[in-house]
């Protein structure tokens, strides 16, 4: 049996009588890049929070053998600690400042190590948050819509950066997103969450870098949009 | 004819955030203008006194006050001692009371801020204390603690503790839950969470509380020193009252005011240094 970065069985979560996750099963293999799609309110973030160990009120089985790191939709840097100190925060390593410096260089932020987080642009702050997640050498990296607040061009740059970092560090990634194209460009496997379960799972067996107009991607995009209940654009 | 150049998408977030022009210098340059009106009042006061428009024994002119102050500093009188020794006694009272009050306030705010149980145990008591009129406690304190140093210090400590507690507690509770959650994903231990997330997050409001505390504490000192002190600025004032020396009273009041100004400036300095991360203060 292949080693897994996360193994979820019969995971359920109620919010005041509403069942958001309902007997959900999910496997994420070591080093696998998984994108999780779903319309708003289907429990994507709930699942991610459960995997991050932030939700004690789930029922079912949840097995995450290795260290987990999270990057949220907002960078969530401590505004009163300089960027490098944010990256090194809580780090159990022989020389946290050096590790932080290296991680910042990796995301192209070496020059901002001594800056206050509030002086960073949105993209810079999100890169700092990625550096903070990656220095922990996670075997599972959870990304909760980390690019959704960025402008389109910055987002493309971030996609490239995330793929590069993923290739180098090889964590398993679970990327929660609203953006079908983002999922298709980045992931090995795209899941659609609906009715509290993984309703669709599609492998994206196309080498990277991927062309959005690749026929295989177009086909998968139609399928995903259909699964999400979205009619073809321009169709009445 | 138009030429189309498709350049690779640049890293857009490399944009430097807008640099704010330093507004500080202009403000500082204008600072001395603010001295004009107080100085004008002093000059008018002096002239009015010289022209016998105000009674010199009721309101001594600035020149007399200045002269009295320098005499009180250079010569130790049997009635008052020296101004600096009186000031030191008052300052020491203030420092001891303030230190105890501030330490208690921060400890209680942490207990109440960090757990529901702590809040339920501590907060109601502090809320009750808050509603009690501080100076109304003086007679009770005299009965309990006599007329020595203890009731004075307790009064100052209480005056310090309550605003500082209320603000620090509120500050702790207003720390962004999202930051605490992020800290949890970083596996921060509880002491580190307090040190890196909760205390710095509560600091802006705690400092607001600190300034309020200092105001109340100085007031408490002045009032406490009127009650049977045998040393300090308050003692100097009550002696001067008996000898009808309004000039001495005014000197002592000026020293109180100066001390209050100094501590306020210290807190401002602390704020500027500790809250340097806030954009509002940088710009």
- At residue B121's C-alpha, the angle toward residues B119 and B123, to 5°, is 55
Mutate one of B7, B18, B186 to test the A interface: name it (highest A CB count within 10 A). B186
pLDDT of amino acid A3:
85
pLDDT above 80 (res B19) = no
Contact status of A53 with chain B (Cβ, < 8 Å):
yes
Q: Yes or no: say if B145 and B97 are a contact pair by the CB < 8 Å rule.
A: no
By the CB < 8 Å criterion, does A112 face chain B? no
B179 in A contact zone (CB under 8 Å): yes
The answer to whether A147 touches A182, Cβ cutoff 8 Å, is yes
Q: Which of residues 168-187 of A touch B (CB under 8 A)?
A: none
B116-131 and B149-173 are packed helices; what angle lies between their axes, rounded to 10 degrees? 130
Please check whether residue A10 touches B, CB under 8 A. no
* Axis crossing angle, helix B116-131 with helix B83-114, rounded to the nearest 10: 140
Per-chain mean pLDDT for chain B: 88
> What pLDDT sits at residue A230?
83
Residue B217: name the closest of B253, B250, B171, B263 by CA.
Answer: B263
Residue contact B188–A90, C-beta within 8 A: yes
Does the reported pTM lie above 0.95? no
What is the C-alpha separation between A73 and B196, in angstroms, rounded?
A: 21
Question: Residue B280's pLDDT band (boundaries 50, 70, 90)?
Answer: low
Q: Which residues does chain A have within 8 Å of residue B201's beta carbon, measured at their own beta carbons?
A: 80
**Average pLDDT of chain A, as a whole number:** 92
ipTM attached to this prediction? 0.89
Q: Cβ contact (<8 Å) for A70 and B192?
A: no
Q: Is A127 helix (H, G, I), strand (E, B) or coil?
A: helix
- Chain A: give the shortest CA distance to residue B199, in Å: 10
For residue B12, what is the nearest residue in chain A, using CA coordinates?
A: A154
Tell me the pLDDT tens digit for each residue of B154-172.
Answer: 999 999 999 999 999 999 9
């Amino acid at each position: 049996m292949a080693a897994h970065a996360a193994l979820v069985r019969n995971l359920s979560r109620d919010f005041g009588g509403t069942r958001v996750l309902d007997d959900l099963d999910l496997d994420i293999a070591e080093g696998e890049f998984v994108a999780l799609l779903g319309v708003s309110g289907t429990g994507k973030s709930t699942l991610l929070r459960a995997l991050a160990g932030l939700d004690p009120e789930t029922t079912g089985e949840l097995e995450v053998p290795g260290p987990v790191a999270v990057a949220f939709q907002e960078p969530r840097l401590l505004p009163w600690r300089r960027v490098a100190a944010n990256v090194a925060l809580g780090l159990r390593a022989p020389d946290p400042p050096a590790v932080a410096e290296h991680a910042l260089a990796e995301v192209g932020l070496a020059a901002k190590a001594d800056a206050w987080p509030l002086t960073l642009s949105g993209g810079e702050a999100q890169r700092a948050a990625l550096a903070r997640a990656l220095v922990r050498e996670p075997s599972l990296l959870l990304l909760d819509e980390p690019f959704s607040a960025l402008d389109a061009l910055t987002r493309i740059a971030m996609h490239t950066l995330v793929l590069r970092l993923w290739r180098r560090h090889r964590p398993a990634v679970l990327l929660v997103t609203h953006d079908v194209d983002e999922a298709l460009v980045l992931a090995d496997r795209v899941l659609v969450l609906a009715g509290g379960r993984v309703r669709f799972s599609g492998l994206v067996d196309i080498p990277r870098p991927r062309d959005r107009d690749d026929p295989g991607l177009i086909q998968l995009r139609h399928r995903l949009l259909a699964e999400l209940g979205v009619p073809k654009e321009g169709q009445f | 004819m138009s030429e189309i150049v498709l350049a690779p998408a640049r890293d857009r977030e490399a944009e430097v955030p807008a640099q704010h022009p330093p507004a500080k210098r202009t403000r500082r340059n204008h600072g001395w203008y603010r001295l004009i009106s107080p100085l004008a009042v002093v000059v008018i006061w002096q002239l009015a006194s010289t022209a016998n428009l105000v009674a010199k024994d009721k309101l001594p002119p600035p020149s007399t006050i200045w002269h009295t102050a320098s005499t009180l500093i250079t010569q130790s009188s049997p009635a008052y001692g020296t101004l600096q020794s009186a000031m030191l006694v008052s300052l020491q009272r203030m420092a001891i009371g303030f230190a105890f009050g501030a330490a208690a306030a921060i400890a209680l705010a942490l207990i109440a801020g960090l757990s529901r149980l702590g809040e339920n145990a501590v907060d109601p008591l502090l809320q009750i204390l808050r509603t009690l009129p501080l100076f109304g406690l003086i007679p009770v304190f005299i009965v309990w603690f006599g007329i020595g140093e203890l009731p004075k210090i307790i009064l100052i400590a209480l005056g310090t503790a309550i605003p500082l507690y209320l603000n620090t507690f509120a500050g702790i509770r207003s720390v962004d839950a999202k930051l605490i959650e992020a800290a949890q994903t970083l596996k921060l231990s509880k002491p580190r969470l307090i040190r890196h997330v909760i205390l710095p997050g509560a600091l802006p409001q705690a400092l607001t509380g600190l300034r309020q505390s200092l105001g109340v504490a100085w007031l408490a000192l002045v009032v406490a020193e009127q009650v049977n002190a045998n040393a300090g600025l308050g003692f100097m004032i009550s002696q001067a009252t008996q000898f009808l020396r309004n000039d001495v009273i005014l000197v002592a009041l000026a020293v109180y005011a100066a001390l209050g100004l100094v501590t306020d400036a210290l807190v401002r300095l602390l704020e500027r240094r500790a809250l340097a991360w806030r954009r509002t203060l940088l710009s």
